[in-house]
Structure 1
Amino acid sequence: MTWITKAMIEQAERFLWTSGRVLEQRRFAYLFGAQGAGGSEATGDERAGVLDALHAYRTPDGGYAYGLEPDVRGPIAQPATLRTAMPILVETDALHGAEAARLCDWTAGAATEAGGVPPAFTSLREYPHPPWLVVPDAPVAGLIPTGWIVGPLLRAGVEHPWLPQATQFCRTAVEALGTTHPYEVEAAVTFLDGLPDRAWARRQAERLGELVREQRLVLLDPAHPEQARLAPGYAAGEYHLPHDFAPRPDSLAREWFTDAELRVGLRALADARQEDGGWPLRWAEWSPTVRAEARPGITVDALVTLRAYAEAVPPIAG
């Protein structure tokens, strides 16, 4: 028994060939080439293809734009776009050398005096963006997206003059978390998973896990969505399941859930696959184009999560 089957991968591959951007097509070939219709092992050329596709979204100043993150449009790099770029840089082992230095230089330039980065600059006002992405008059740094950026850099062992201040910003923000919402918790977990101070990270992760349950931020039984609480501004049905907080078995958030709870969520994830072989958009759809561009990335991410748990928390027969 496994969460991910050859037929599932082949159907997702057909969906990506039909609807995916070049970036998601190259990611799929790199990550699942051995199981895909081509039947070939991933190669260095496939890794280079992913990075070439990602670099097409790079701006002259070193950030990313041009709809890499489908909810953030326009030619001006925005910090929120790194939420999409960072996992790709991680899975291609590209967070080192000149690539990491360039990224840190750009992020340092985007940071406030406190060391954190805001989701967006005022320049985003000129371009299409969702109503929930509020563009303030002055940039306000937050754990979102700073935690999503800093965690992978620390996990990769990157060193840069900006990182100590950014790390302290995230530590302070994590310690201050009280009433929160799933995306903020996920940013915190991403930071904690990369933090070298493992003892402190485990203590904070344990506290956050308690908050997630107390505030009913996780949906443990998809058959009873009334048992979870949707955060203000979330779309109907935008619930977060255990694997959303712990997309990898080695995440600190894995300890928040029993194997049984994870299996329920993973079954819901596997069953969410649609007839065309792709996975659906869960958050509010503010543009048909965004839906079309987001689903391929969501599909690759779903496959990655299901494969990650295939052996760690396998399904039970029957």
Structure 2
Amino acid sequence: MIERRLFEFHFANGDKNGVYHAVYAYRNPDGGFGHGMEPDTASPESQPLFSIMALETLDEVGYLTKEIILNDFMPYFQSVTTEKGGIPWMFRPKSDYPCEGHFKTVKEWAALSTTAPLLGILEKYEIDIPWMKKAEQFVWSEFERIKDKHVFCYLCVPRWLTFLKYTKNQDKAEETINNLKKWILVDGIVCKDKADEGWGLYGKPHSLNYATSPESILHSLFNKETITSDLKELVNKQKDDGRWDTWYGISEGTKLEWAGIQTLWALKVLNNYGEIEK
């Protein structure tokens, strides 16, 4: 339903209130979001990642406000903050609902890819609370620790960029962005083989995974020919029934859910580059 409402918002003059109601259907009494908001697990428990996804989605459609962040989101995030000052990526599900294997062994320590976007959104909405000080120390130290280890992950990098775009320490942000650009261009990070079935999917990113629009911070990494070629191939990857597929999922049902997510992403990217007829 979230993908349907987002599609309606972006392509059919939909109302942002519809997105809000779809997102809040996943909210728990503790303020976190669960219930299989991402298809990797159907468990009802609140997850930091799902709560970040909810925050990002409301921001995407212009529904988010300072009051919503402080009242509806921060109590949960503060409740799951670790001693290091950051919030975990995921928690191991406590229920017996189906889930991907990596959920059962996930490390429940503070993570850059949840803490960074949260901080970025707090800065974007000009929020200043004590929680942010230690969290920011954690984020900068984590950038220094992991260096180039996860630049292949196009799910992580945009979340890092949310922080780097809005942090007040722009000198440090510029240095980090320059390092990211250098590491992304290392041979083997961007998948250049368009015949590869995994092209554009997790672990095999292409230029559009990093530069989802001409305004993207990383757009300058790729020349016009590369972007044009990848846009053409993205169109070619569409299936006869309209979807963009993915190999990922623990069942045929979750593969279809992921295909919905992938399809919405592809349509938004194509729209950003003016490739969809109005």
CA displacement, residues 127-161 of structure 1 (integer Å, 9 cap, x when unaligned): 3221233535x721121332343333333333333
- Contact 1:79–1:120 at 8 Å: present in 2 too? yes
Cα distance, 1:306–1:62 mapped onto 2, change above 3 Å: same
Gap runs ≥5 in structure 1: 1-21, 34-40
Query: What are the residue-to-residue correspondences of 1:160-175 with 2, within 5 Å?
Result: 160-175=129-144
Equivalent residue number for residue 198 of structure 1: 170
Deviations 1:157-188 (A, max 9, x none): 33333233222222221222334132244443
Give the Cα separation in 1 of the matches to 2:187 and 2:137. Answer: 26
Structure 1 residue 115, shift from structure 2 partner: 1.5
Residue 142 of structure 1 corresponds to 111
Residue 47 of structure 1 pairs with residue 16 of structure 2: yes
The reply on whether 1:70 has 2:70 as its aligned counterpart is: no
SS of 1:298's equivalent? helix
Counterpart of 1:275?
240
1:110 alignment counterpart: 80
Deviation at 1:293, TM superposition (A): 1.8
For 1:29 and 1:266, the matched residues in 2 are separated by 23
Change (3 A) 1:224 1:275: closer
| Root mean square deviation, CA, Å | 2.8
Matched, 1:214 2:186: yes
Q: CA deviation at 1:126?
A: 4.0
User: Paired residue for 1:249?
Assistant: 214
* 2:2 is the alignment partner of 1:23: yes
Q: What SS does the aligned partner of 1:252 have?
A: coil
Q: 1:120 aligns with which of 90, 93, 99?
A: 90
How big is the shift at 1:64?
0.6
Once residues 39 and 118 of structure 2 are traced to their aligned partners in structure 1, the CA distance between those partners, rounded to angstroms, is 18
- Report the Cα distance in structure 1 between the residues aligned to 2:69 and 2:139, rounded to whole angstroms: 19
Instruction: Out of 209-218 and 118-127, give the one that drifted further.
Output: 118-127
Structure 1 pair 304/224, CA: closer, same or farther in 2 (3 Å)? closer
Number of the residue aligned with 1:308 = 272
**2:102 alignment partner, SS class:** coil
Partner of 2:61: 92
5+ unaligned residues in a row in structure 2: which ranges?
none
Q: 1:71 to 1:90 in 2, by over 3 A?
A: same
Change in CA separation of 1:209 and 1:128 when aligned onto 2, cut-off 3 Å:
same
2-structure distance, mates of 1:225, 1:213: 21
Residue type of the partner of 2:251?
S
Question: Which amino acid counterpart does residue 209 of structure 1 have in structure 2?
Answer: K
Using the size of structure 1 for normalisation, the TM-score is 0.75
Q: Please state if 1:129 is matched with 2:108.
A: no
Letter matched to residue 262 of structure 2: I
Give the whole-Å Cα distance in 1 for the aligned partners of 2:97 and 2:255.
17
Instruction: Give the TM-score taking structure 2 as reference length.
Output: 0.85
Distance 1:194 1:57, change over 3 A: same
* Whole-angstrom CA distance in 1 between matches of 2:54 and 2:236: 27
Asked if the contact 1:116/1:169 (under 8 Å) is kept, the reply is yes
Aligned to 2:262: 298
How much identity, in percent, do the aligned residues show? Answer: 26
Query: What whole-Å deviation, never above 9, does each CA across 1:60-101 have from its counterpart, x for those lacking one?
Result: 111111111111321110112135323311122233233211
